[in-house]
């Protein structure tokens, strides 16, 4: 089997950061740089129909080597990396035989990956970790998933004794900005079920995720000379702060876990005349999700009554929904992955995704798509890392899932 690590290190050299402010598809042209490379690699592995379309979606087919009627399975990962941090000039570090202590990512900037801050590091004592150099993200989300899928494909190509049905491969752009499945042609893809390789810690198996919305709060103010502003000035920044203060203070990402939802203020910009706050709103439970949005509407209404009509404009946009509703009727897709993990000596961790995944939208588009681990941790930032042993287990898992559909 070709080295999944060498593939991963090759892919992360290519900057594929997506851009939420862009209206183009894909949101950044640089995503095509990786896409073209992957198409050539897929063709080299014998997937003759491999292609990338004008929106940067890759699809390819590995034909069945069996006569039996076996479900067509898809494996999907995304090519873009998060806009939260630079993905340019990624300089990975290899930490062999990790001793359980602090890892200095960048001596000059005094950036340290420490188990005091990230206790999950303790799971990997004695293993080999790939980390950042503290100046960029790593790109394991989701180039590790791509490397693992490609490596599994090569194993199938090189060993015809491994029986498999038809396998469909899909690589998407713009997942990190919530658009990864927007232009995914489920009918063309032709799979009956699929798995995204986009999870974190080894063992993660997920079939439920947040219901998600984006909220934009625009506040209008009125500026006059501050020396003569009594009963005249309307400071939009203070009203925006007032809006935020009326949200539940314990329902932010810092205070929540598991199935607990949150309001997350992701950006703010303002001056006296106008202020803009942008939030993401998340909850696994649909009723609680609706209640969160209703609370924001109630606060906006109250502030408009207090400060004047049209002072506060609230724009709410639903982004995706919990895929559990679509997966539960076909739970065998989860059970087969769970058994494949057990067979590989991996303890399944059935956890709700505290985020989103292409599989959420795809499941609502008619393609049931639970999510499995890639092995990475601390996505979207300078403290991202991935154990090599977890990546190799992910390859083993893909092959195990495939074998469970042939037996």
Q: 80, 204, 208, 384: which is the annotated catalytic residue?
A: 80
Is 175 known to be catalytic?
Answer: yes
Is 80 known to be catalytic?
Answer: yes
Q: How far apart are CA 348 and CA 46, in angstroms?
A: 32
pTM of the predicted model, to two decimals?
0.88
Q: Is the distance from CB of 61 to CB of 106 less than 8 angstroms? A: no
Angle in degrees, 0-180, between the axes of helices 286-307 and 236-245, rounded to the nearest 10 = 140
* Claim to verify: residue 12 and residue 92 sit in the same structural domain: yes
* Claim to verify: residue 268 and residue 315 sit in the same structural domain: yes
Angle in degrees, 0-180, between the axes of helices 140-158 and 4-11, rounded to the nearest 10 = 140
Q: Which of 287, 302, 320 is the last residue of a domain?
A: 320
* Claim to verify: residue 304 and residue 340 sit in the same structural domain: no
Residues 6+ apart with CB under 8 A from 239: 219, 221, 275, 303, 307, 311, 312
Other beta carbons within 10 Å of 113: 24
Please provide the DSSP assignment of 99-163 as one string. -SS-EEEETTTTEEE-TTT-GGGGGGTTS-EEE--SSS---HHHHHHHHHHHHHHHHHHH-TTS-
* Claim to verify: residue 277 and residue 329 sit in the same structural domain: no
Q: Which of 271, 294, 320 is the last residue of a domain?
A: 320
* Claim to verify: residue 43 and residue 180 sit in the same structural domain: yes
Q: Looking at residue 356, what is its pLDDT? A: 79
* Claim to verify: residue 288 and residue 340 sit in the same structural domain: no
Q: How far apart are CA 133 and CA 95, in angstroms?
A: 11
Other beta carbons within 10 Å of 256: 17
* Claim to verify: residue 332 and residue 342 sit in the same structural domain: yes
Query: How many domains does the chain divide into?
Result: 2
The CATH number given to whatever domain includes residue 247 is 3.30.70.360
Per-residue pLDDT tens listing for the chain (407 residues): 459 999 999 999 999 999 999 999 999 999 999 999 999 999 999 998 999 999 999 999 999 999 999 999 999 999 999 999 999 999 999 999 999 999 999 999 999 999 999 999 999 999 999 999 999 999 999 999 999 999 999 999 999 999 999 999 999 999 999 899 999 999 999 999 999 999 999 999 999 999 999 999 999 999 999 999 999 999 999 999 999 999 999 999 999 999 999 999 999 999 999 999 999 999 999 999 999 999 999 999 999 999 999 999 999 999 999 999 999 999 999 999 999 999 999 999 998 988 878 899 999 999 999 999 999 999 999 999 999 999 999 999 999 999 999 98
* Claim to verify: residue 93 and residue 197 sit in the same structural domain: yes
Q: 133, 141, 142, 175: which is the annotated catalytic residue?
A: 175
Q: Give me the domain span that covers residue 329.
A: 4-208+322-404
* Claim to verify: residue 56 and residue 145 sit in the same structural domain: yes
Q: Which of 289, 320, 351 is the last residue of a domain?
A: 320
Q: How far apart are CA 356 and CA 375, in angstroms?
A: 17
* Claim to verify: residue 222 and residue 196 sit in the same structural domain: no
* Claim to verify: residue 233 and residue 272 sit in the same structural domain: yes
269 secondary structure, DSSP code: E
* Claim to verify: residue 42 and residue 124 sit in the same structural domain: yes
């Amino acid at each position: 089997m070709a080295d999944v690590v060498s593939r991963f290190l090759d892919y992360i050299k290519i900057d594929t950061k997506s851009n939420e402010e862009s209206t183009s598809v894909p949101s950044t042209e640089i995503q095509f740089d990786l896409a073209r490379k992957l198409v050539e690699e897929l063709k080299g592995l014998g997937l003759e129909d491999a292609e990338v379309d004008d929106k940067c979606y890759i699809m390819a087919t590995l034909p069945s080597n069996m006569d039996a009627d076996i479900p067509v399975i898809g494996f999907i990962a995304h090519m873009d990396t998060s806009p939260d941090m630079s993905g340019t000039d990624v300089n990975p570090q290899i930490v062999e035989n990790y001793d359980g202590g602090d890892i200095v990512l960048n001596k000059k900037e005094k950036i340290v990956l420490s188990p005091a801050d990230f206790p999950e590091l303790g799971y990997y004592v004695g293993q080999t970790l790939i980390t950042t150099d503290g100046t960029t993200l790593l790109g394991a989300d989701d180039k590790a998933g791509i490397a693992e899928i490609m490596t599994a494909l090569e194993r199938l190509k090189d060993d015809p004794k491994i029986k498999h049905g038809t396998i469909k491969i899909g690589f998407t752009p713009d997942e990190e900005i919530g658009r990864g499945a927007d232009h995914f042609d489920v009918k063309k893809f032709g799979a009956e079920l699929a798995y995204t390789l986009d999870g974190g810690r080894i063992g993660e198996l997920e079939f439920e995720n947040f219901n998600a919305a984006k909220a934009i709060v625009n506040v209008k103010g009125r500026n006059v000379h501050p020396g003569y502003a009594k009963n005249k000035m309307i400071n939009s920044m203070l009203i925006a702060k007032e809006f935020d203060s009326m949200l539940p203070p314990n329902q932010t990402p810092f205070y929540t876990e598991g199935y607990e939802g949150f309001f997350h203020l992701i950006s703010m910009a303002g001056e006296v005349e106008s202020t803009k706050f942008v939030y993401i709103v998340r909850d696994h439970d649909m009723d609680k999700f609706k209640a969160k949005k209703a609370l924001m509407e109630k606060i906006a209404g109250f502030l408009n009554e207090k400060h004047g009509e049209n002072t506060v404009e609230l724009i709410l946009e639903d982004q995706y929904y919990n895929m559990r509703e679509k997966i539960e009727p076909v739970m065998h897709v989860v059970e087969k992955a769970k058994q494949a993990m057990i067979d590989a000596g991996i303890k399944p961790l059935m956890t709700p995704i505290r985020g989103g995944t292409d599989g959420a939208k795809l499941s609502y588009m008619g393609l049931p798509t639970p999510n499995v681990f890639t092995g990475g941790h601390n996505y979207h930032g300078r403290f991202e890392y991935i154990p090599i042993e977890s990546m190799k287990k992910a390859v083993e898992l893909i092959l195990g899932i495939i074998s469970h559909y042939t037996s």
